[in-house]
Amino acid sequence: MDKFVIKCKRKNVEEDESGIKLKEPRVNNVEPSVDKELTFRRIRGDNLNCDYTMLYSQKEADELLKECEENLQYNTGDLARVHVFGKWHSIPRKQVAHGDPGLTYTFSGISVPARPWTPLLLRIREKISKVTGQAFNFVLINRYKDGSDHMGEHRDDEKELVPKSPIASFTLGQPRDFIFKHAESRGKEAKRIILPVKIELQHGSLLMMNYPTNVYWYHSLPARKRLTSVRINMTFRQMVKL
Ligand SMILES: O=C(O)CCC(=O)C(=O)O
């Protein structure tokens, strides 16, 4: 993989608002999906294994966003806060989880119980399962009211996730930068120089994060203060009941 980093062409490198260098993902040949109508872009790097496609047309995605805004309700109170370094903070976005009975999702000190599936979410899940051939029993939904809402760097390595299962990230609304950072290239103690990989997630798109991406790479949705529109992201997962 070092080869991948060193050989990266300068013209593919840019800087984001915070000045960090970003690399456009290496995109391989296009491959038909399980649903033969769709093609996936293969995004590969050092233990980075993702596939990206446009799942819905603009018109369909507009309609789904409208339905989400009309039907989804988000957690409030203690379920809308996280416990970090001994302090409680409101999360900088809205969040809710839906899934099979009894499933919960624990992160940053809070345990989010799954609400029951709704017809809208089941429709989206069915479409994703059809095009990927994967099953999901849980979805975490994040709503970003504008570019100031964001999500910090993390790995989806919760103990409730079925080991090696893929995570399907479905986006509606405002396109936003999604950034992968290799665990060994983070912070002052970085052991290796591996440029972050940026993907702009579009309205109606699906990003499959396949094993072992989440073992080696952190991901984040940084603030983009100039952006004014709503974005909703759904990460469909396969969880175990603990
Ligand atoms: O909104 C996004 O695209 C990020 C979601 C995410 O990182 C997560 O649910 O773990």
In this structure, which residue's CA is closest to atom 9 in ligand 1?
235
The ligand 1 atom at the shortest distance from the C-alpha of residue 178 is: 3
User: Taking residues 102-110, what's their average pLDDT?
Assistant: 83
Task: Report whether 153 contacts 108 (CB < 8 A).
Answer: no
Identify the pLDDT of residue 9: 37
The mean pLDDT of the chain is: 88
The ligand 1 atom at the shortest distance from the C-alpha of residue 176 is: 3
Identify the pLDDT of residue 22: 63
Rounded distance from Cα 38 to ligand 1 centre (Å): 23
User: What sign for the dihedral angle of Cα 231, 232, 236, 239?
Assistant: positive
In this structure, which residue's CA is closest to atom 8 in ligand 1?
235
DSSP one-letter string for 114-125: PBPP-HHHHHHH
User: What sign for the dihedral angle of Cα 222, 48, 216, 238?
Assistant: positive
User: Taking residues 101-117, what's their average pLDDT?
Assistant: 88
Distance CA 23, CA 228 (A): 25
Cβ atoms < 10 Å from Cβ of 213: 22
The ligand 1 atom at the shortest distance from the C-alpha of residue 171 is: 3
User: Taking residues 36-43, what's their average pLDDT?
Assistant: 87
User: pLDDT confidence of 34, banded at 50, 70, 90?
Assistant: low
Percent residues over pLDDT 70 in the chain: 85
User: What sign for the dihedral angle of Cα 156, 157, 161, 167?
Assistant: positive
For residue 163, give the nearest of 215, 222, 91 by alpha carbon. 215
Rounded distance from Cα 235 to ligand 1 centre (Å): 7
Residues touching ligand 1 (Cβ under 6 Å) are 140, 142, 151, 156, 169, 178, 219, 221, 233, 235
CA angle 148, 149, 152 (to 5 degrees): 110
Q: Where are the domains of the chain?
A: 2-237
Mutational pocket test of ligand 1: of 208, 219, 231, the residue with most ligand atoms within 8 Å of the beta carbon: 219
pLDDT digits (tens, 9 = 90+) for 13-33: 445 555 455 666 665 545 545
In one-letter notation, the amino acid at residue 101 is P
Task: Report whether 231 contacts 176 (CB < 8 A).
Answer: yes
Of 3.40.50.300, 2.60.120.590, 3.90.180.10, 3.90.226.10, the CATH number of 2-237 is: 2.60.120.590
